[in-house]
Amino acid sequence: KRSVLATGLEKLKSTIHPGRSSQITEPETDRKKSLTEGAGSYYHLTHSELVSLLVQREAELEHQKAESERQKRLLAKREVELKKLKPQVKDLEDYIDTLLVRIMEQKPTLLQVRSKLK
């Protein structure tokens, strides 16, 4: 559907330039449709309301960007912490392995499971 404004605009163009065709080419029609399709939900708003909405959306976008940057910094911080913990975990694993080997060599009976059948 074409809006009343678009039809009125075409009539005005045809009276100003009578030699030109009032028909709009196909690509131009598609372009105008794509530009005006989303405008329906904003049609009832005043200029100041539109400006206010735009400012609000820009503020939301800035907030999202700031939050994204904060999350990137937090991720980098956590990665550094993780890199510091990996060697500690490796050292603890090695210590446990060494301890188990010593127990198996010196007192393997400590590792035996005693069943209670009585």
Domain ranges of the chain: 1-43
Query: Averaged over 71-79, what is the pLDDT?
Result: 98
CA distances from 38 to 34, 41, 42, 57, 110 (A): 8, 7, 8, 16, 76
Reduced 3-state DSSP string for the chain:
CCCHHHHHHHHHHHHHCCCCCCCCCHHHHHHHHHHHHHHHHHCCCCHHHHHHHHHHHHHHHHHHHHHHHHHHHHHHHHHHHHHHHHHHHHHHHHHHHHHHHHHHHHCHHHHCCCCCCC
Q: Which residue has the higher pLDDT, 15 or 43?
A: 43
What is the model's pTM?
0.46
**Taking 90 as the threshold, does the pLDDT of residue 81 lie above it?**
yes
**Taking 70 as the threshold, does the pLDDT of residue 11 lie above it?**
no
**Taking 90 as the threshold, does the pLDDT of residue 61 lie above it?**
yes
pLDDT exceeding 70 applies to what percent of the chain? 64
> What is the rounded distance in angstroms from the CA atom of residue 19 to the CA atom of residue 30?
24
> What is the rounded distance in angstroms from the CA atom of residue 12 to the CA atom of residue 4?
12
**Taking 80 as the threshold, does the pLDDT of residue 69 lie above it?**
yes
- Contacts by 105-109, CB closer than 8 A, 24 or more apart: none
Contact between 32 and 6 (Cβ < 8 Å) = yes
Query: Averaged over 16-38, what is the pLDDT?
Result: 61
